[in-house]
Amino acid sequence: GQAEMWITKCLVGQSEWSEYFPDCGGTSQSPVDVVTTQTKYDPSLKPVTPLGYSQHGNNPFTIYNNGHTVVIELPDWMGLGGLPWLFTAVQMHLHWGSGGPSHGGSEHTINGLSADAELHVVHYNSELYTDLSAAMTQRNGLAVLGILIETGEEANPAFDNILNYLSRVRHADQKVSIPAFDIQLLLPEDLGRYYRYNGSLTTPPCHQSVLWTLFHQRVQISKRIFLTFSLIELIKLM
């Protein structure tokens, strides 16, 4: 499917990525460390506007393990406003570390500080392109929301909608249906404070096609539920 194109099934070490995927050696690569003293306030930027995130419908979502992460497919009536173009949702996926809480599993960092995990919500530019595969190689073809996740004592019922099913997708290529739920509840409350930059896919083929929005405010999940990530067997991209 289209969503599977987001992460290439590649066993090449990271130091060799650019040998096989030239874009991985490009100048606009993600993730980045956001150094807040080097950021500039841009008054032209609007708050991000999730469209249809809460209208999940009656059909279940699909969650699957693609060997590198856990992916949840999203219906195409979900989208993103507040950007120069309309973007249509495709999927979301998680990144986490192998060392458990406090071991920095996020991809982006802020002032050198990582979070325990990171959620990416992926959209393609549906004003300019017909689908994800057409958009993912083009500048401004994709828009991705980055949500930094930290662990604490507080439970987060919204994330339980995903994490409660991880044990059923422990192995690569396992796929299950889960009840649809309100995606907007996964986002931080403050959608107006974020870091925006032009970057890339964070894994091969590293296309420099992503308009990134990294929220400053983190969301929290419980340490207990976070440990369910350790159940997932992945082929790590070294």
Which residues have a catalytic role annotated?
68
- Cα separation values, 59 from 56, 122, 185, 225, Å: 8, 20, 18, 25
- Give the dihedral sign, CA 6/7/9/14: positive
Rounded CA-CA distance 3/156 in Å is 26
- Give the dihedral sign, CA 152/98/238/186: negative
The structure tokens listed for 47 are: 């708050």
Q: What are phi and psi of 126, to 5 degrees?
A: -85, -5
Rounded CA-CA distance 176/168 in Å is 7
